[in-house]
């Protein structure tokens, strides 16, 4: 059986992690993440986001990134693969996965062209504006997915423990938004 800790202990552990990241940086890279934050970064750096003075808040052992959504311009092109959180001095503290995510899909909602939603573990971009269906939402990994009068294209998989961006592929100069971040202290 795995070890477990109390929620209070997890929140304290999270607060200590947050203190290391306050006023630090979040960097998104292409490729596969390294073995640990002590290992040099690999892949191409796509974008750097400055973190808030209070980088994260904690509740029930889950950390939420302060200041989300974060938006900045990409400095290179590529497919996001992983992210590194570092201290204000640049020391790597936490590496995590990167997925594609948006707001949660909602029934009977007027949806604008380009809106990004997450339904289940997948994310979709609206290609034809309209009103979503009364139930269900988009599913699958294709294009031209009908949902009420809205049409969606699959963007990619969202991650439940890591960074979700508003796009699946990045072009240099493109505005990139971190739509969500969640980190769960292990063994809660």
Mean pLDDT of 90-99: 92
pLDDT at 114: 85
- Nearest Cα neighbor of 96 from 17, 7, 19 is 17
pLDDT at 160: 75
Mean pLDDT of 159-187: 81
pLDDT at 121: 87
The percent of residues in the chain predicted with pLDDT above 70, rounded, is 97
Q: For residue 181, report the phi and psi dihedrals to the nearest 5 degrees.
A: -150, 135
pLDDT higher than 60, residue 139: yes
| C-beta of residue 122 within 8 angstroms of C-beta of residue 136 | no
pLDDT at 154: 93
Within 8 A by CB and 6+ apart from 52, the residues are 22, 23, 66, 67
pLDDT at 186: 65
Number of Cβ atoms within 10 Å of the Cβ of 88: 15
| Structure confidence by residue, pLDDT tens digits, 95-119 | 998 988 878 899 999 999 988 888 9
Quickly state the pLDDT bin for 131 (edges 50, 70, 90): very high
Residue with tokens 């997450």: 118
pLDDT higher than 70, residue 126: yes
pLDDT higher than 70, residue 85: yes
pLDDT at 1: 62
Mean pLDDT of 132-139: 96
pLDDT at 184: 74
pLDDT higher than 70, residue 127: yes
Residue 175 token pair: 């505005």
pLDDT at 105: 93
């Amino acid at each position: 059986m795995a070890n477990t800790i109390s929620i209070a202990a997890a929140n304290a552990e999270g607060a200590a992690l947050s203190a290391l990241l306050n006023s630090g940086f979040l960097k998104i890279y292409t490729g596969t993440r390294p073995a640990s934050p002590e290992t040099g970064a690999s892949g191409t750096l796509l974008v750097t986001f400055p973190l808030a003075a209070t980088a994260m808040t904690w509740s029930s052992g889950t950390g939420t990134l302060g200041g989300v959504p974060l938006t900045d311009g990409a400095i290179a092109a590529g497919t996001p693969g992983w992210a590194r959180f570092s201290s204000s001095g640049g020391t790597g503290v936490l590496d995590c996965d990167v997925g594609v995510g948006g707001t949660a899909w909602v029934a009977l909602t007027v949806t604008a062209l380009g809106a990004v939603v997450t339904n289940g573990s997948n994310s979709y971009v609206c290609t034809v504006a309209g009103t979503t269906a009364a139930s269900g939402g988009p599913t699958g990994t294709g294009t031209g997915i009908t949902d009420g009068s809205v049409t969606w294209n699959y963007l990619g998989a969202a991650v439940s423990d890591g960074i979700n961006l508003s796009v699946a592929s990045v072009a240099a100069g493109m505005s990139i938004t971190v739509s969500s971040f969640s980190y769960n202290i292990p063994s809660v």
